[in-house]
Amino acid sequence: MELAEFSARLDEELRTADYADIDASANGLQVGPDEGELEHVAFAVDGVAETVEGAVDAGADALVVHHGISWGGFDRVTGRKYDRIAPLIENDVALYVSHLPLDGHQDHGNAAGVADVLGLENRSPFGELGPEYIGQRGTALESFSLESLCDRLESELDTGDRQVRGLGFGPEEISEVAIVTGSGTDWLEDAVDAGVDAFVTGEGKQKVYHEAQEAGINVVLAGHYATETFGVQSLQELVEEWGLETTYLDVPTGL
């Protein structure tokens, strides 16, 4: 498959252009030639030296990641930026990035993957950011306790042996759940306004403890990396359907 076609198909599937004005990430093709052929694509959460090296070692023609290397642009390609970019160019490996579009996609997205793990039904977009959404909410088929909710996530997510932590300030029975993966605590008030029983995100900030306590809502911190593996894995399955060979590079941070 031609690189241009590959990028265009992903852009269309993920509605990349719709997030251009609200995402600091340069989504889409970040590194790559005008022309190129793909047979093998690697997937990873983070576009870093370790995953770039893994893609090169796997013989991949492209690397698809959630967290890329360009956030609002940069003036110099030196230091760590050079260490990430140089191997891509030297080995003709393209880099495709999908940040917020992959968070918010209601089928392929990270929040959708967490909702799958929890078996949520009656799902709808959650977590407004401008005109778009970056999360999902839904209803559990059978209610969870906070402990059982944390246990489900800990057993199913790639936490790197990190414990899933719950802040138990809400109802004992949890049915309505809102999800914003990664660093999503800025949407806690949205979860409170939505009247959900629990808000699931990746990592917390100091203030979330007191905000959750004062609002009377449960919060689950399941890990930034752990909650954001689903999107790239879903894209991997899609790309395999397109007839390309794939490799998944798992580099958990435990954070």
pLDDT (tens digit per residue) in 36-46: 999 999 999 99
**Tokens at 96, concatenated:** 């495709």
Starting at the edge strand found earlier in the chain, the sheet holding 94-97 runs: 28-31, 94-97, 62-67, 40-46, 245-248
Rounded Cα gap, residues 14 and 154, in angstroms:
28
For residue 51, the cross-strand partners are: none
Neighbours of 223 (CB within 10 A): 27
* C-alpha distances in Å from residue 127, one per residue of 32, 45, 87, 215: 32, 21, 36, 17
Collapse the DSSP code of 94 into the 3-class scheme (helix H, G, I; strand E, B; otherwise coil) and give the result: strand
**What is the rounded average pLDDT of the residues 69-83?**
87
Rounded Cα gap, residues 181 and 13, in angstroms:
20
Q: DSSP secondary structure string, 240-253?
A: HHTT-EEEE-----
Rounded Cα gap, residues 9 and 7, in angstroms:
5
List CB contacts of 90: < 8 A, sequence separation 6 or more: none
pLDDT higher than threshold 80 for residue 192: yes
- Residue bearing the bigger pLDDT, 71 or 45: 45
pLDDT (tens digit per residue) in 87-137: 999 999 999 999 999 999 999 999 999 999 999 999 999 999 999 999 999
For residue 245, the cross-strand partners are: 40
Collapse the DSSP code of 145 into the 3-class scheme (helix H, G, I; strand E, B; otherwise coil) and give the result: coil
Rounded Cα gap, residues 156 and 163, in angstroms:
12
Terminal alpha carbon distance of the chain: 36
Residue 95: name the closest of 24, 35, 33 by CA.
Answer: 33
% of residues, the chain, pLDDT over 90: 92
pLDDT higher than threshold 90 for residue 77: no
Neighbours of 115 (CB within 10 A): 25
Model pLDDT, residue 34: 77
Minimum mean pLDDT range among 12-16, 17-21, 31-35, 66-70:
31-35
pLDDT higher than threshold 80 for residue 217: yes
Answering whether pTM is above 0.85, one says: yes
Model pLDDT, residue 69: 94
Are 60 and 1 in contact by the 8 Å Cβ rule? The answer is no
Rounded Cα gap, residues 92 and 34, in angstroms:
12
CA 47 remoteness from chain centre = 13
pLDDT higher than threshold 80 for residue 74: no
pLDDT higher than threshold 80 for residue 152: yes
Model pLDDT, residue 162: 86
- Residue bearing the bigger pLDDT, 242 or 74: 242
Angle (nearest 5°) at CA 111 between 39 and 153: 105
